[in-house]
Amino acid sequence: MQVKNLLSAVPRILFTNAPLDAQLIVTRRCNLSCGYCSEYDNFSEPVPADMLKQRIDALHSLHSANITMLGGEPLMHPDIAELVAYAGRKSNTSVVTNGFLLRNGVIESLNEAGLNNLTVSIDTLQADPTRYIQKSLRSLRTRLERLKRLARFDVHVTAVLCESSVDDFRQLVREIEAFGFRMSINLIHNAKGYVTISGQPYLELYEEFYRDGKPFTYLDYEYGKKLLQGERPDWKCRAGARYLYVDEFGNVQLCASQLGRLGKSIDEYTAADLSEQARSHKDCEEGCSVGCAYRCSLVDNDKPQFVRAVLKGFVKGTLRDNSRRPLPANVQAGPALGDK
């Protein structure tokens, strides 16, 4: 993982209410229509770049450590590289993508923009004939090869553990890790953010991944394990403070699964709002599997556990930047045909 200005970021992370991750919707439009996703459409225009820059300025004023560009599919925004460069003046920058638009020219533009981290969402090994899940490794392999060859930013892959992925999950992990990329696991949830799987088959895969694999982070390992065991741990969500979600209208929401509960414009959001949301219970925590919100909240809920998880990641090598490492022996390094 690439982290900008680490020494100045650590005190801000540990001793203030500054957002660890501010997620910014740049477009709702997506080139896919995965059945489990409620965060896309096929018609919205991208948010104008000047509006997004104004929202980025507001996130900078709140001392956000990282700004993540989200969609829909953020690479559909025509000014995505410009926005990454603009956000990167004062924050770490990240993009979450389904990967299908990762052409050579797109990767190079993100290199030039100074992108720090890219997350590619790959759910299954094989294509799903029902098209409920559309992001398979088989359809994205060439894009991963391009990233391995060209990217100067850190790359990690996130996968959803669900009924459609459980049978081939071990093979999916092996093939992704053969590229040298780390992985994170999301436990599938419903439209309100509540986990919808549990039981021994999922628990075994989850435990095996954290024991033998290359997890991107250990921050939510214990929590995810309890969810799969059928437990519903008590915790306080710090969304609206440590974790910010700014929708396409520029309003701060708790998360994509709990829309309409805050709705205050990011341009009017202040340190007082951060403090208020850091203190308040959200009443939707029980059974929540929105991992980004949980991970950001852990720094306040259990600082010792947060520090231990981060240190474990450094020791295990999962927090190291994996950009521009050699391609694995079984991956061809030639140019992508027909790509610019």
What is the rounded CA–CA span in Å between residue 124 and residue 165?
5
Phi and psi, residue 298, nearest 5°:
-60, -30
- For 116-137, write each residue's pLDDT tens digit: 999 998 888 776 665 556 677 8
List, as one string, the DSSP characters of 228-266: HTT--------BTTTEEEE-TTSEEES-TTSTTS--EEG
Residue 64: per-residue pLDDT: 95
pLDDT lower than 50: segments of the chain: 327-340
- What CATH superfamily classification does 6-316 receive? Aldolase class I (3.20.20.70)
Residue for token pair 């993009």: 95
Q: Given this model, what pLDDT does residue 195 score?
A: 95
pLDDT of residue 14: 73
pLDDT (0 to 100) of residue 138: 84
Q: How far apart are CA 229 and CA 224, in angstroms?
A: 9
pLDDT of residue 3: 60
CB 40 within 8 A of CB 71: yes
DSSP β-ladder status, 21-25 and 66-70: parallel
- Per-residue pLDDT of 169-215, as tens digits, reads 999 999 998 998 999 999 988 888 999 999 999 999 999 999 998 89
CA atoms within 13 A on the CB side of 237: 22
In sequence order, what are the residues at sequence separation of 6 or more whose Cβ sits closer than 8 angstroms to the Cβ of residue 255? 193, 239, 243, 245, 290, 292, 293
Residue 307: its pLDDT value, please?
86
- Structure confidence at residue 9 (pLDDT): 64
